[in-house]
């Protein structure tokens, strides 16, 4: 038995395509954290297992979804991702293998209409398919990971990831993820400066656009390098703001 787990918030642009791509699974678990659009009603068209909760961060929320799953195997996907027919067949074959605890899957992401093959975005293997009793999520509020106790293997067919549909979504995610990233660094006791925020942003652009060759992906490759740099710059700028607001000892 295979359970699919998904967390959502205001994902009406993506969620129907995501759910349709996994409608063949034995069980679909959705945890929504306060959507103000019609995400929840869309989800209820595909599964009865839709739960509305608060928002504790990505890791804890995905662990909540995992705790509700009952399948022997779990596929964790994001609401802006889709499973192709080829990957479906490969997954169905993979979960019958013996002595494997989990599978890493390549992810092919699109940025404003173009699939990105450079800039560190491909093949971007992610651990998403695992035996339920062998896996758990870290409690990171952002950039959480799945920890699996046992041997891993790689699948060949990719998850399709609609990372950014348009510039508006880019700006929204840059703002959201930079805030979460700053909070994560702050809680770990990290410090920064205005100069460091600028340098980190420039380095991110240089690494993405030149070292990882996102320039080969045309205009979208340049846009990706700029938005990556902005996300890094604002993450450290927001960390500086948190530092400055910290009560003096």
Q: How many other β-carbons are positioned within 10 Å of the β-carbon of residue 183?
A: 17
pLDDT band at 249 (very low <50, low <70, confident <90, very high): low
When pLDDT is averaged across residues 157-180 and rounded to a whole number, the result is: 96
Mean pLDDT of 56-73: 97
Position 133 scores a pLDDT of: 96
pLDDT on residue 160: 98
Q: 75-128, pLDDT tens digit by residue?
A: 999 999 999 999 999 999 999 988 999 999 999 999 999 999 999 999 999 999
At a CB cut-off of 8 Å and minimum separation 6, what does 96 contact?
none
pTM of the full predicted structure?
Answer: 0.92
**What is the rounded average pLDDT for all residues in the chain?**
97
**pLDDT reading at 161 higher than 90:** yes
- pLDDT surpasses 80 at 62: yes
Q: Is the pLDDT of residue 213 over 90?
A: yes
3-state secondary structure labels for all residues of 192-249: CCHHHHHHHHHHHHHHHHHHCCHHHHHHHHHHHHHHHHHHHHHHHHHHHHHHHHCCCC
């Amino acid at each position: 038995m295979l359970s699919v787990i998904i967390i959502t918030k205001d994902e009406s642009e993506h969620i129907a395509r995501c759910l349709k791509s996994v409608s063949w699974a034995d069980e679909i678990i959705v945890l929504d954290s306060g959507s103000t659009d019609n995400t929840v009603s869309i989800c209820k068209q595909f599964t009865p297992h839709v739960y509305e909760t608060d928002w504790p961060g990505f890791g804890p929320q995905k662990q909540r979804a995992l705790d509700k799953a009952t399948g022997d195997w779990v596929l964790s996907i994001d609401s802006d991702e889709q499973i192709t027919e080829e990957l479906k067949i490969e997954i169905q074959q993979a979960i019958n293998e013996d002595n494997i605890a989990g599978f890493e899957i390549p992810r092919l992401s699109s940025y404003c209409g173009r699939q990105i093959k450079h800039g560190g975005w491909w093949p971007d293997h992610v651990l998403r398919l695992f035996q339920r009793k062998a896996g758990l999520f870290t409690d990171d509020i952002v950039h959480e990971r799945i920890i699996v106790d046992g041997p891993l293997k790689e699948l060949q067919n990719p998850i399709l990831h609609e990372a950014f549909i348009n510039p508006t979504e880019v700006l929204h995610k840059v703002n959201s993820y930079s805030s979460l990233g700053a909070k994560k660094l702050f809680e770990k006791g990290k410090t920064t400066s205005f100069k460091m925020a600028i340098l980190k942003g420039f380095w991110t652009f240089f690494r993405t656009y030149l070292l990882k060759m996102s320039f080969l992906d045309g205009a979208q490759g340049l846009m990706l390098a700029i938005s990556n740099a902005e996300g890094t710059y604002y993450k450290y700028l927001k960390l500086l703001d948190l530092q400055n607001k910290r009560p003096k000892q």
